[in-house]
Structure 1
């Protein structure tokens, strides 16, 4: 039977009381937030002492319904959270007041991202819209209709990549956000679970519920680099890919899945893509996040309800957040002596 913490990661104090939907690190400090189905957003500070980590619980923000997503402003002064109350709230760290509602949808808000290049907030919802918000206004600057419910969102200015129900992947160019730049039908047969845009803005990753990741380049001249690879599988058991996060320095990426495993990968090295073999936790990993320099990888383990209420066991279904310190060799691309990966 797998252990709760087989990789000997640092456990975060005062975790949420229900399943965790998102983790987000500040781009400026070692503060991070977690959103949960217990209607709360919690904030911690990570203390680093040599090779040891510890955490201090700093703040608690409430929504009226479960919270599904989170993001930080680029200056680290505030964070955003959105959820099933159809709202996005902003919490300014320097403010002692309550969080301010800065965006509203007609259905739960599934995704939120801050775009520093335009000073706009983009929100994706199950009302089948993307909405762009200037925080100085109460109404969106632009509402983009989507073909179906928003399931996943990745932003790497000027690109916005959206995954919707019915396997649609839509790319927008923020230099002309009112029109679709590209639309793809996912090359995989099942539901899109998560997205990550390449740091060089040349393409994106798609994570699926069928335990696969698709590597997709936008430039057709690089289509030979496109690939689909299997991950998060154990024997005949197939698990969802729940999180895709690029390392901020090395531009390798991490996947985390419902099998309770996280691993680091190099998207450009097809033959030896996997960089690590981490040990399996006893519950699904639902979300993850790198800190600003990639020295800390946070991940949440909890029941993800993919096997229904009938398989929920309150005796074993704990909710925890762990902080892992990857070794340089775990996240750095492997380069052969002749300079090729």
Structure 2
């Protein structure tokens, strides 16, 4: 029987991002429109640390086991030592910082912004001096990096998707057009590093592969999801978040319909659909051992201004049968 609980001290305004520590399943970071980043202890259901930005925070990640890096509307890339509380500004963009990811290979941070650039930040360099700047063709909406750090996927507002080999950021490894006809909401890399999944505002998910060979490219596909038919009318919802299971390589999707689905991407099957959450699913994250799923239930303004349930982070204990491909059972 699945168990689930609400995190104490959840953000008081729109939740933009939740992410588990890659090494400690007890630690979860959350970012919010209330201008704060929170470090939650999932085991004790307590708040360990909290720090602020000057405006809404869009994304946060763990750079090292006890280092958080975040960015948002204040255009700053901020680093905080979660043990000592020491804060520093790694640097700034010219517009809002949409995403931050850590490259474990080069031990640098990578941020993507609405200023149409991605930038690398070396912890050892003085603040405000990025280790590299790559101009993009439009606003960055989502980015992610493979676990080994070698591939960086950047999704932009014009449906372009750029792939970089992080060992040579001076060149774009691949330039693609999204398989999805409408604006990208999220992109996540597969744990095995072979490809990525992306989602759109129009209730679709695409599964893509890096290998350009014709044989491998035949495997890519897209499918409809997060749709409901009410009184004969199909309602289509944005797919706001994706999260890969770190062990089985299946992935979860969260939509504006308040639903979380778990998919077997290789066998093109849905494994599980969880009961509806109070409102839209803004962000998802699996713990590093794959035994828990953090679900940010937070209204995402899909239907403009309206009364919505309180923003809440749920932590769900995940049974193996919910995330394991049927062929491996």
Structure 1 segment 151-230 matched on structure 2, within 5 A: 151-156=141-146, 157-219=149-211, 220=213, 221-230=215-224
| 1:142 counterpart = 2:132 | yes
3-state SS, counterpart of residue 329 of structure 1:
helix
3-state SS, counterpart of residue 287 of structure 1:
strand
Counterpart for residue 262 of structure 2: 264
In terms of mean alpha carbon deviation, does 149-158 or 199-208 score higher? 199-208
Two-structure CA RMSD over aligned residues (Å): 1.4
Counterpart for residue 252 of structure 1: 250
| 1:65 counterpart = 2:60 | no
**CA deviation after TM superposition for structure 1 residue 336, in Å:** 7.2
Aligned length: 317
Superimposed CA distance per residue, residues 62-98 of structure 1 (whole angstroms, 9 cap, x where no aligned partner): 110000001102x41211111100001111122144x
- Consecutive unaligned residues of structure 2, counting only runs of 5 or more, are none
Structure 1 residues 8, 326: closer, same or farther in 2, change over 3 A? closer
Counterpart selection for 2:228 from 226, 230, 234 = 234
Structure 1 segment 1-341 matched on structure 2, within 5 A: 9-29=4-24, 30-47=26-43, 54-73=44-63, 75-97=64-86, 99-137=87-125, 138=127, 139-156=129-146, 157-219=149-211, 220=213, 221-235=215-229, 236-270=234-268, 273-309=269-305, 312-313=306-307, 316-335=308-327
Structure 1 residues 201, 8: closer, same or farther in 2, change over 3 A? closer
State how far apart, in whole Å, the 2-side matches of 1:209 and 1:88 are.
27
State how far apart, in whole Å, the 2-side matches of 1:43 and 1:128 are.
29
State how far apart, in whole Å, the 1-side matches of 2:254 and 2:174 are.
27
**CA deviation after TM superposition for structure 1 residue 254, in Å:** 0.8
Structure 1 residues 336, 41: closer, same or farther in 2, change over 3 A? closer
Superimposed CA distance per residue, residues 240-276 of structure 1 (whole angstroms, 9 cap, x where no aligned partner): 1111111111111111111101111111002xx1010
- Consecutive unaligned residues of structure 1, counting only runs of 5 or more, are 1-6, 48-53
**CA deviation after TM superposition for structure 1 residue 175, in Å:** 2.2
**CA deviation after TM superposition for structure 1 residue 9, in Å:** 2.0
Query: TM-score normalised to the size of structure 2?
Result: 0.93
